[in-house]
């Protein structure tokens, strides 16, 4: 039996829908028994000549003092930071992140040991390799983060299928099943749930969440459906009527043809943007054969692109995860962003609805504004740069995005005023 046969069996047996949803690349990858595999087997040997990293001969790095001093870590952590990470990530980091993910989660719900990725985009790219591929339908409520198109469409040849995330100025929880209505029944598909969202800054309310889940379960009756939960902004929710919990947990085990996959990380949750530590989590117990088979596939893909994830930033994230007051520190950042959200929400109430209207936002880092007919978002963006010393993001055909995460609360009213002024000037023209 080949290694690919050994991986096929646990996946196809435990989740036929997941096997059906794998791309041709996803089916044929397996972690090879080459250098990292053999080095792992030799770990702890008295004489270990397997891996090509420069050490003192006893397993410790020969670090430049300038590098070691910059880290200012205790010796064991410094050693881990300066040597190669395992391809799947440092075990202690993975275990600590799993505990972080599962705060308040029912112990009966399965989840794998998270696999470390080089940022969340890398996690999405790995998911694209596993589940994308030529012609595969990738459903994304629109407007959406533009890099989905590069990650899934350009890289793998998948088709980006969209439906409005908003209808008549309100959130549309049925965007995904509406987009899939025209797809042939039985054909596997991938849906992306980016909640809280970029660019919308929205987390569904309890009733919207229920409708969204019902729609996804109904769609799973028609086809194998992989739901990628892009949880980049997990926890950043500012209104009580919007549950902060990831929909990943609500989807686990709900239908045999629906497989959720969680992509999250320290970037936004820990304000560690330069660290580039993401995680990829599957809805299976860590010791299960299917989780181990999927880990082999992901390790093959990681090994083929980046070798192994960055050890230094993993160690720094682990230090943060082990801090006794880490939850309070994360909450302090959320409260600070929550104040900016409230200031921005109030400032937008005074904007002339004949120029633009804010779409619902209650979470994350952004507010999305829909421009009135006749106003071009890119022309407005250029006008704000040239005349008003103000930067926003334009999104065709009719939106601008404000990232309130990067603006002081006291500056947000003036930003809104300049935005409205630029829009008025465009309307006069």
pLDDT of residue 34: 74
d(CA 43, CA 33): 15
The hierarchical CATH code for the domain 327-428 is 3.90.1150.10
Domain boundaries, the chain: 3-31+87-321, 327-428
CA-based nearest residue to 365, from 413, 412, 402: 402
Enumerate residue ranges in the chain where pLDDT < 70.
1, 46-47, 49-50, 52-57, 62, 64, 66, 428-429
pLDDT of residue 415: 95
CA-based nearest residue to 71, from 239, 316, 240, 336: 316
pLDDT of residue 74: 83
Give 405-428 pLDDT, tens digit per residue. Answer: 999 999 999 999 999 999 999 886
pTM of the model as a whole = 0.94
**Residue 337 near residue 236, CB atoms below 8 Å:** yes
pLDDT of residue 39: 77
pLDDT of residue 73: 83
pLDDT of residue 363: 98
- Cα–chain center distance at 90: 20
d(CA 382, CA 396): 14
pLDDT of residue 47: 62
Give 61-103 pLDDT, tens digit per residue. Answer: 767 676 777 788 888 888 889 899 999 999 999 999 999 999 9
Indicate the class that CATH gives domain 3-31+87-321: alpha beta
**Secondary structure (H, E, C), 65-89:** HHHHHHHCCCHHHHHHHHCCCCCCC
């Amino acid at each position: 039996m080949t290694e690919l046969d050994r991986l096929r069996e646990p996946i196809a047996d435990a989740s036929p829908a997941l096997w059906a949803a794998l791309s041709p690349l996803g089916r044929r990858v397996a972690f090879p028994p080459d250098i990292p595999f053999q080095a792992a087997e030799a770990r702890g040997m008295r004489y270990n000549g397997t891996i090509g990293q420069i050490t003192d001969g006893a397993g410790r790095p020969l670090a430049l003092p300038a590098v070691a001093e910059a880290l200012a870590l205790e010796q064991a952590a410094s050693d881990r930071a300066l040597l190669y990470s395992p391809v799947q990530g440092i075990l202690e980091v993975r275990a600590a992140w799993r505990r972080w993910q599962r705060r308040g989660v029912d112990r009966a719900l399965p989840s794998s040991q998270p696999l470390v990725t080089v940022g969340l985009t890398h996690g999405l790219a790995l998911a694209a390799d596993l589940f994308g591929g030529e012609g595969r339908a990738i459903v994304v409520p629109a407007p959406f983060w533009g890099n989905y198109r590069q990650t899934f469409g350009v890289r793998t040849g998948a088709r980006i299928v969209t439906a409005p995330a908003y209808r008549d100025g309100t959130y549309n929880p049925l965007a995904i099943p509406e987009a899939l209505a025209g797809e042939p029944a039985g054909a596997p598909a991938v849906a992306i749930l980016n909640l809280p969202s970029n660019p919308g800054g929205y987390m569904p309310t309890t009733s919207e969440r229920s409708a969204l889940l019902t729609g996804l379960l109904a769609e799973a009756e028609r086809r194998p459906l992989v739901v990628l939960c892009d949880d980049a902004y997990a926890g950043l929710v500012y209104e009580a009527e919007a549950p902060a919990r990831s929909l990943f947990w609500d989807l686990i085990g709900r239908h045999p043809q629906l497989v959720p996959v969680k992509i999250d990380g320290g970037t936004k949750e820990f304000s560690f943007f330069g660290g580039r530590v993401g995680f990829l989590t599957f809805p299976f117990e860590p010791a299960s054969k299917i989780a181990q088979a999927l880990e082999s596939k992901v390790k093959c893909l990681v090994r083929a692109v980046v070798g192994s994830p960055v050890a230094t930033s993993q160690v720094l994230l682990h230090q943060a995860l082990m801090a006794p007051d880490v939850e309070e520190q994360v909450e302090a950042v959320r409260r600070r962003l929550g104040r900016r959200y409230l200031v921005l929400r109030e400032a937008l109430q005074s904007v002339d609805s004949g120029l633009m209207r804010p779409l619902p936002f209650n979470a994350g880092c952004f507010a999305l504004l829909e421009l009135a007919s006749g106003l071009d978002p890119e022309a407005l963006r250029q006008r704000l740069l040239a005349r008003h010393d103000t930067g926003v993001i334009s999104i065709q055909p009719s939106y601008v995005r404000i990232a309130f995460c990067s603006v002081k609360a006291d500056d947000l009213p003036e930003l809104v005023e300049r935005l409205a002024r630029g829009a008025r000037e465009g309307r006069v023209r």
